[in-house]
Chains A and B, each alone.
Chain A
Amino acid sequence: NAGVTQTPKFRILKIGQSMTLQCTQDMNHNYMYWYRQDPGMGLKLIYYSVGAGITDKGEVPNGYNVSRSTTEDFPLRLELAAPSQTSVYFCASSEHRDTNREQYFGPGTRLTVT
């Protein structure tokens, strides 16, 4: 299993540009998540999905959109990039709704908005 894969690994955007961060998992997990990681702030949940066709907002959803058309894919869309969105983005998945199950993380995407 490849686990959770993300593309691209690095990206530089200009203010106002848009982009999609791709995330794919091959573990047949129903639950998927997008986090952003900022220095000294830990990970903050942007959006999550409990299955294909179902998504919901996390703690910091403003400026982002997601979709979940298949179990495997959970892309994150930035429509109008802003410097505040400079961060490292992690996609994750988990097997089950039980909260004692760990999350499996992708390698991350480092995004810089200038």
Chain B
Amino acid sequence: AQSVSQHNHHVILSEAASLELGCNYSYGGTVNLFWYVQYPGQHLQLLLKYFSGDPLVKGIKGFEAEFIKSKFSFNLRKPSVQWSDTAEYFCASGGGFKTIFGAGTRLFVKA
């Protein structure tokens, strides 16, 4: 069965620190990868997605992710986090009704 693993369940950073959240997926044919974010009290929304082309994907709010096929990874990065980035981040693969979500990483950014 396909799976998505997120390495860290909780991350605490100070403002301006760099962020990298790990995500590994099991291979399941066509690669479709997503990062969703859930801000406190809000619904999930898409940060970025990859399905082909340039393996470095730019998303909203300064986030980016790199698809590394050899490592089955799709890590999320941001050079300098802000307090407003406090949220839960979900990596997902597959798409549509085949979407598999990771367990999520709770990020808390200290002001």
Contacts and interface: CB of A to CB of B under 8 A. Distances in A.
A99 B104 contact: no
A43 B88 CA distance: 12
Interface string B90-106: 10001111110111100
Interface centre among A41, A56, A100, A101 (most CB of B within 10 A): A100
Interface residues of A, number: 28
Interface stretch (B11-19, B42-50, B67-75): B42-50
A61 interface: no
Interface string B14-47: 0000000000000000101010100000111110
A74 interface: no
B42 A107 contact: yes
B43 A100 contact: no
Interface string A26-45: 00000101010000111111
A102 B98 contact: no
Given A40-B9, A43-B90, A99 B43 contact: no
Of B30, B99, B102, B104, the most chain A CB neighbours within 10 A belong to: B99
A102 B34 contact: yes
Contacts of A92: 44
A31 B42 CA distance: 22
B63 interface: no
A85 interface: no
21 contacts: A31-B96, A35-B101, A43-B44, A44-B101, A48-B97, A58-B97, A90-B44, A92-B44, A94-B96, A98-B96, A99-B51, A99-B94, A99-B98, A99-B99, A100-B95, A102-B46, A103-B99, A105-B44, A105-B45, A107-B43, A108-B43
Interface of A: 4, 31, 33, 35, 40-45, 48, 50, 56, 58, 90, 92, 94, 97-103, 105-108
